[in-house]
A and B are shown apart, each in its own frame.
Chain A
Amino acid sequence: MFPTEHFLFLAALLFSLGLLIIITKRNTIMMLLGIELMLNASNLNLVAFNRLLPETVDGQIFALFVIVVAVSEAAVGLAIVLQVYQYYQTSIPDSISELKE
């Protein structure tokens, strides 16, 4: 069917774009979206390599645990973003520099 490289190239592209989003966007929610994109790229790799061993489901179960950790990360991250927003009245991560001064 499909070559495994096509899955892996798409995963590499999604991972690099997630890195680009995390570096360039000046908004904490956009950075969380970039982190979700990177976690999905790793999930795609796990599922693609699980295709090569069809008699086991180890890769798929690992992808399930990655999804569980991503859910926890999104919930706690958004709670922190909301608290920081209420305290500093900004969502630009560079302008929260109280410890720097």
Chain B
Amino acid sequence: MTFVAFMFYFFEAVAALSALGLALVRNVFYGALLLVACLLALAGIYVLAFAEFIAVTQILIYAGGILVVIIFGIMLTTKISEKPLVVEHSYILSGILAAAACFCLLVFVLSKESFVSLTAYVAPPPVNSVQTIGVSLFSKYMLPFEVAGVLLLIALIGASVLASNIKSKKE
């Protein structure tokens, strides 16, 4: 087993185990930290799948952005109630049944399909993939790019309007 293959299976094991821990843990803060570990391991897998730009975006936006927002949310919600952040589990049997059914269905379908014939062609991209992404983002995908910008603006305004406390200002 080469070093690259060892790193690939190491990242896969870290991602799977931290997701499993996220399903079992009862503390919200530990859950957020486990999600950070899972997302960083996924970024490592993206690098090994020749998607360097996606990996850097994953680290910057998920591990840097979303998780900071979620930890702020955890801090703000505990300040109001001053209760410990222990999460109860409910519907355990139905949750396990639904998740196991979903997993077994996906594994059954995936194991029936064969991707072996396609893997023979897998090679690193011949050109700079970041340059290719940039060029196609501003040529072929210009409209979705602009729509994504508008969506981000709407989400920013909407989140700040929703989170601001308008009632207390009027009183």
For the residues of A in contact with B, the DSSP-based class is helix
Closest beta carbon of chain A to B137's beta carbon, Å: 6
Out of A13, A24, A61, A86, name the residue touching B89 (CB < 8 Å): A24
Asked whether A33 lies within 8 Å of B144 as measured between CB atoms, the reply is no
Q: With A14-B16, A19-B102 as given contacts, are A74 and B49 in contact (CB-CB < 8 Å)?
A: no
Interface string of A50-78 (1 = CB under 8 A from B): 11101101001101110111111111101
| A6 to B12 CA separation, bound complex (whole angstroms) | 9
When chains A and B are docked, how far (Å) is the Cα of A58 from the Cα of B48? 18
Interface residues of B in 40-96 (CB under 8 A from A): 42, 45-46, 48-51, 53-54, 57-58, 61-62, 65-66, 69-70, 72-74, 76-77, 80-81, 87-92, 94-96
Q: 8 closest A-B pairs (Cβ-Cβ)?
A: A72-B155, A23-B95, A12-B106, A20-B99, A16-B103, A79-B162, A24-B95, A79-B163
- Given A51-B50, A57-B133, A32–B70 Cβ distance below 8 Å? yes
Partner of A1, one of B72, B74, B122, B148: B122
Contacts of A71 in B (CB 8 A): 61, 65-66, 152, 155
Whether the Cβ atoms of B89 and A25 lie closer than 8 Å is yes
Secondary structure at the B interface, as helix, strand, loop or mixed, is helix
| Residues of chain A within 8 A of B69, CB atoms compared | 74-75, 78
Q: Which residue of A lies closest to B147 (CB)?
A: A65
Tell me, in angstroms, the Cα distance from A79 to B153 when the chains sit together. Answer: 15
B123 with A54: CB separation less than 8 A: yes
Instruction: Report the bound CA distance from A74 to B69 in whole Å.
Output: 8
- Total residues of chain A contacting the partner, CB 8 A: 71
Please pick, from B61, B98, B118, B126, the residue contacting A67 in the complex, using a CB distance under 8 A.
Answer: B61
A15-B106, A23-B98, A52-B119 known; A79-B19 Cβ under 8 A:
no
Asked whether A16 lies within 8 Å of B62 as measured between CB atoms, the reply is: no
Give A72 to B5 CA distance when docked, in angstroms.
35
Closest residue of chain A to B114 (Cβ to Cβ) is A5
Return chain B residues, CB-CB under 8 Å to A19: 95, 98-99, 102
